[in-house]
Amino acid sequence: MVVSGVQETTVNAALEYDRTKMLKAFDETKAGVKGLVEDGLVKIPKIFVRPAEELAKELNCRPAEVQLPIIDIGGIQGLDRHKEIVNEVRIAAAKWGFFQVVEHGIPLTVLEEMIDGVRLFHEQDLEAKKEFYSRDNTRSVRLNTNYDLFNSRTANWRDTLIISVSASGTLEPNEFPAICR
């Protein structure tokens, strides 16, 4: 029995949009967002569309001036400087969850090659990437779309290659996608 038009509208909306079913169907393709685009997508799937009221709130908020924590690790070999850097990392990680490291000594060419490797990974054929698609957080190398796909209110329009030593404690070079080595 329908008590009000609101309940009827809610029931109709639920019939038209089964979010869980759409999320599972999307995830099971293992194609990610790039796969949607490569398949000739012409309309953004509803799982990626943020509600108008959520967007309106954001538009009414003035962007905050944000200063990303920058940690200079030059001179880390000195005992006093080492303790200072560890403290800076602790504070940045606790307050922000991330930070930028400078004076690390990694040549710019190596950083550029890393970025190129990730870009080339994402530009590969879908079949080559599917081997890495996983939601298993114990895997050291995995590709997925939205680590919180089934928990977030709206899916983000992104694919992510995750390479993590924290999953297994070690990372063997042969675990990396060949194109990223």
Cβ neighbours of 121 (radius 10 Å)? 19
Give dist(CA 173, CA 140) in Å, integer: 11
Q: Rounded to two decimals, what is the model's pTM?
A: 0.71
Residue 63 DSSP code: P
Q: Report the candidate in 19, 58, 47, 63 with the shortest Cα–Cα distance to residue 158.
A: 47
Looking at residue 181, its pLDDT comes to 82
**pLDDT, block means (10 residues), the chain with 181 residues:** 40 63 94 93 92 82 81 88 93 93 94 93 94 91 90 91 80 86 82
What residues does each domain of the chain span? 5-65+106-180, 66-105
State the residue for tokens 């509803």. 46
